[in-house]
Structure 1
Amino acid sequence: MAPEASKTSIPIPERTRNQRDARARALAIRFGLGPAAIAAAALVCLLIGLLYLALQIRTIFSDQLKQEYAGLVLEAVERAESARSLVGVWQQLPDATQARAAGYRQARTELAHRLASLAALVNASPSAAPRLPPSSLTPDADLRDTDAVLSNVSAWWRAQRDADSADVRVRITHVARTLIASAALLFCMLITALGMYAKRNRLLAGQSHEFEWAALHDAMTGLPNRRKLFATLEEAATKSPALAAPCKIAVLYVDLDGFKQVNDSLGHRVGDEFLIAVSKRFRESVRKVDVVARIGGDEFAVLVSEFSTNAELGEIARRLIACVVQTDKVMGVGQVRASIGIASFPDPVDDYQRLVAAADEAMYRVKRSGKNSYAFADEANRPMPL
């Protein structure tokens, strides 16, 4: 039997590949952006975009208020110009009667009232608008000065309204572009985050598969381990009753004779190489539907499904023994052989859970009778000759 060191040792290429994968995963975790980082970046960009949009919308509302205020001032200018036109009408009447004089004074008073309302609007403006001179607000002010004031006020506030209107249009364009850019950026970030989540899920699924594979296989030889063997055996045995003609199942329990001396004399490295080489030959000597498992140390088991006669099992046992002899010859060890016990279900072993134990008992019977041969579980006589 091989010592424990041979069970857990991992070949150098396998260790190198595992270390390389571990380093790659560590670098990806250290320098890569995960979905959480992408989501945080998207949130920051969203907040910045919302702040910019809020400032732009606030400015647009402010410009719109300025436009409305300019419209109020221009309406006041139009009313003042109408009052000025009325004064000009009274002033051009030919007869200097008392009614004309009274109408002219009333028109001048109305013009002064309109100018005072216009001055109140202009002086209350939040922008730095030119103020109306006090001399133009009196009823007896020079009409030429009044005409110049009204013309200047009208020109200035029309220009101001046009400028505010152009600024609103520009800012609305900026808001639309910002909304489009933000939507595109968020969409790209969401797609990226979803892609990273999918990639991480695939990675986790791959790692889960690797962990599951490692839990069911021998690390050194890559063969299924005891757990995988019993799971496959149970699956094969439990589905047999559902078939019209239940298939036969057999287990060949293989123990390497003289393997301990290899470890003791040549070292565990040579012993591990021997196990790897003989495992490969075992796998190549049976059908793909059959399972070759490493039970532990220098013990192996082969699960054979759908065989017809014991002669077929005997032929498989002889091939397995030949694999050991060939490996021993190639490596120049010169002292390793194999003892094999064979048990089949449902005849003669009617309980598949005892199939491995029955094959193990038959294998020990071979060892006690000279080794390097095989025996069936239902035979109490000597091992079968090669």
Structure 2
Amino acid sequence: MAGASLVCLLIGLLFLAFQVKAIFSAQLEQEYISLVLEAVDRAESARSAAIAWQPPSGDAGSYPDGYRRARVELAARLATLDALVNASPSRAPPLPRAVLSPAAGFDAASTALDTASAYWRAERERVSAAMRARISRVADTLIVLSAIVFGVLVTALGMYAKRNRQLAGMSHEFEYAALHDAMTGLPNRRKLFAALGETAARSHGVPSPGKIAVLYMDLDGFKRVNDTFGHRIGDEFLIAVSKRFRESVRTGDVVARIGGDEFAVLVRTFASDAELSTIAQRLIACVSQTDEQMGLGVVRASIGIASFPDRVADYWRLVAAADETMYQVKRNGKNGFAFAVRPASE
């Protein structure tokens, strides 16, 4: 079947080549006809000028200079037309030699011009019809060849599409794995910084850019969970609290696991510190509720909050500033939150 399809394809391509060659030849012929018809139009314009200058009946003995010049122009135009007709690549009826002189009779010259005009306009229609017919045959052949090619390649295309989907799925899985924490499914540190860069880029150049904030969180007492209850319980706690974190933040914000028992939340836009305080309180409540649900009684949360541009001049330092502030909370008694203070030097 593949061999027969290939033979049909080659025959069809050969037929197309001949048809395309014929179309180009017809196009050249049509362009030549257009040149001849342009000469016809110029000759008809000269004839119209001669008619305009032709003396009225009864004054045939005296021809004005304008009429004589128009007849000379008409003769020159007819000579140019005759030269084009004689140079035609296909046989065409020539103009009578007698009408090429200014002294020729006006009626004879006019009749010869009308005959040439009718012939070449008919030729233009004939060549145009032939071109349309050939183009139609080319279109039909292309449809048939397309069907043959489709029939031959459909299996290969199907296999390629299947393989491409598999590769795309693998690529998506690799990309997801590179940007997310394997255990909790939360974005990782790399994804957090990418989201931070995207958020800052959208705000760049905006007349009134929004404020950005990062809440950095450490789970107080989590080490005791692993030491006392085992790492399995510790992993279950991290998975459960991560789910609560996702449900507590807004749709546009990003909650990420930085590593171990440390998490961060990127707040893409906010209006006031009170809004950030509410988010921090919700996160602390998520930790407390998870601890209570699992009956551990040891895990709480310390959160540092840094915001750009009011507290941190460079948005790339948001995570570091929030991390430093979080350790201040831990030193001051844990289980709470605090805002970063902008250094006096800034």
Class of the TM-score when normalised by the shorter of the 2 chains:
0.5 to 0.7
- Which of 336, 341, 358 is the equivalent residue of 2:304? 341
Q: TM-score, normalised by structure 1?
A: 0.50
Shift of 1:210: 1.2
2:254 corresponds in structure 1 to 291
Q: Which has the higher contact order (CA 8 A, sep 6+)?
A: 1
Moved over 6 A (4+): 183-186
SS at match of 2:251: coil
**Is 1:250 matched with 2:213?**
yes
1:377 corresponds in structure 2 to 340
Total equivalences in the alignment = 205
Structure 1 portions without partners, runs of 5+: 1-41, 51-182, 381-386
Shift of 1:207: 1.2
2:160 corresponds in structure 1 to 197
- Which of 218, 225, 229 is the equivalent residue of 2:181? 218
Quote the Cα distance in structure 2 between the aligned partners of 1:350 and 1:324: 31
Shift of 1:241: 2.3
User: Alpha-carbon deviations, 1:251-308, whole Å to 9, x = none?
Assistant: 0001000001101111111111100000010111110000000000000000002101
User: Alpha-carbon deviations, 1:315-363, whole Å to 9, x = none?
Assistant: 1101100000000000011100000000000111010111100000000
Contact 2:216/2:323 (<8 A) preserved: yes
User: Alpha-carbon deviations, 1:75-121, whole Å to 9, x = none?
Assistant: xxxxxxxxxxxxxxxxxxxxxxxxxxxxxxxxxxxxxxxxxxxxxxx
CA RMSD of aligned residues (A): 2.3
Quote the Cα distance in structure 2 between the aligned partners of 1:290 and 1:184: 51
SS at match of 1:349: coil
Q: Which of 1 and 2 has greater Rg? A: 1
Shift of 1:238: 2.2
- Which of 46, 50, 54 is the equivalent residue of 2:3? 46
- Which of 241, 244, 253 is the equivalent residue of 1:278? 241
SS at match of 2:285: helix
Q: TM-score, normalised by structure 2?
A: 0.56
**Is 1:208 matched with 2:171?**
yes
1:8 corresponds in structure 2 to none
Instruction: Supply the AA of the counterpart residue of 1:247.
Output: G
Quote the Cα distance in structure 2 between the aligned partners of 1:223 and 1:350: 28
SS at match of 1:254: strand
Contact 2:312/2:342 (<8 A) preserved: no
Quote the Cα distance in structure 2 between the aligned partners of 1:291 and 1:331: 26
Contact 2:311/2:342 (<8 A) preserved: no
Quote the Cα distance in structure 1 between the aligned partners of 2:265 and 2:147: 60
SS at match of 1:218: coil
**Is 1:329 matched with 2:292?**
yes
Structure 2 portions without partners, runs of 5+: 8-145
Quote the Cα distance in structure 1 between the aligned partners of 2:308 and 2:180: 24
Q: How many percent of aligned residue pairs carry the same amino acid?
A: 72
Contact 2:211/2:307 (<8 A) preserved: yes
Shift of 1:187: 5.3
Quote the Cα distance in structure 2 between the aligned partners of 1:244 and 1:207: 41
SS at match of 2:204: helix
Quote the Cα distance in structure 1 between the aligned partners of 2:328 and 2:313: 20
